[in-house]
Amino acid sequence: MPRPTGRVLTLLELLQSGGTRTVAELADRLGVEGRTVRRYVDQLIDLDVPVESVRGRYGGYRLAPGYRLPPLMLSEDEALAVLLGLAAGRRAGLTTAERTASETASAKVRRVLPKHTAHRLDALLEALAFTDEPGEPDHPDAGILLTLADAVRYCRPVAIRYTDRDGRHSERTLHPYGIVAHGGRWYVTGRDARIGEDRTLRLDRIAAARTLPGSFEAPAGPDPVQRVLSGFATAEYRHEVTLRIHGTAEQIRAHLPAAVASLEEHEPTAGRDPAVERWWQVEIRAQRLDWVPRTLAVLDRPFVIERPDELRDRVIALADRLASHARQT
């Protein structure tokens, strides 16, 4: 069981996280009674920590505005969590502004750690490897990212300057639903107010973002992640592929995820068991076709190519090559 001193420090951490904390909430988090919480608050006040008492139905305790936090204190587990998060974000390309920001943050954390703990964590980070190395993506501006996040939270429209993949510049009013990290990039999904359609936009292509007056009602339906993945699957690409594949949705999705293909029952019937194999209509939009025959081979389910004819030729060519290799002795 934590000692009283440890609980007082935990109380300080809870108050530092911001907002007003009720006595009941603090008592529950600390595992003590309400009168003990009040005693811990008195101890903090004795240490010149400006804890304010808030009256009313939703009253409780909070730190005075502008209070300067004491030096950072991290346990070994907490330091490990912070450094691993910084390392993983840097490797995945999910950092803002420039690469040096996460590196200087890591250095600051290391400086406040005991020497023994710092050496152990350095050894772990040196031994750590990742299974994939994404390219070097463009990083979104931190100010733009925070402006959009605030607009998502409070359902506020934003005016943005955007450059599309063809280099065209435009001014847009966006009702942002959410921010999604995918494949080493940041995306914002929302409704373009001028055309009245949902859009998924890359954050690194937004040159400026400004919150506008008013608000909008967030829609029901798919969450931001599903909206982004569906946007990838239905975006305009060079080739439009239509297939019919026999199997379960789980079998097909294992090789053709939502970011790659849209999936619908070929002959919908209510009440079917999702584990039962059936024919599915699969739509794929791709810049290149060379990967599709290999994916169908790995999927190893009956399929029919409806379009394009070029894909049918590629599948036949792959089958001929595989048969030729199998005949070799």
* Three-state SS annotation for 147-194: HHHHHHHHCCCEEEEEECCCCCEEEEEEEEEEEEEECCEEEEEEEECC
Most confident region among 42-46, 78-82, 276-280, 292-296 by mean pLDDT:
292-296
Of the pLDDT bands very low, low, confident and very high (cuts 50, 70, 90), residue 21 is confident
**pLDDT of amino acid 92:** 62
Higher-confidence residue of 111 and 189: namely 189
| 100-127: average pLDDT | 73
In this structure, the dihedral spanned by the alpha carbons of residues 204, 199, 259 and 227, taken in order and rounded to 10 degrees, is: 110
Of the pLDDT bands very low, low, confident and very high (cuts 50, 70, 90), residue 165 is confident
Average pLDDT, the chain: 81
User: Residue 140 corresponds to which amino acid?
Assistant: P
List pLDDT tens digits, range 36-77.
999 999 988 888 888 898 887 767 898 887 776 656 666 777
Q: Is the pLDDT of residue 200 over 80?
A: yes
Range with lowest mean pLDDT among 67-71, 97-101, 312-316:
97-101
Q: What share of the chain in percent tops pLDDT 90?
A: 24
Q: Is the pLDDT of residue 132 over 60?
A: no
pTM over 0.75: no
Say how many residues make up the chain: 329
Most confident region among 31-35, 48-52, 159-163, 182-186 by mean pLDDT:
159-163
Range with lowest mean pLDDT among 99-108, 153-162, 207-216:
99-108
Before 308, cis peptide (omega within 30)? yes
Among the listed residues 101, 72, 76, 75, the one whose alpha carbon sits nearest the alpha carbon of residue 89 = 101
| 2-18: average pLDDT | 77
**pLDDT of amino acid 63:** 86
Most confident region among 7-11, 103-107, 151-155, 242-246 by mean pLDDT:
242-246
Q: 119 in the Ramachandran plot: left (φ > 0), alpha (ψ -120 to 50) or beta?
A: alpha
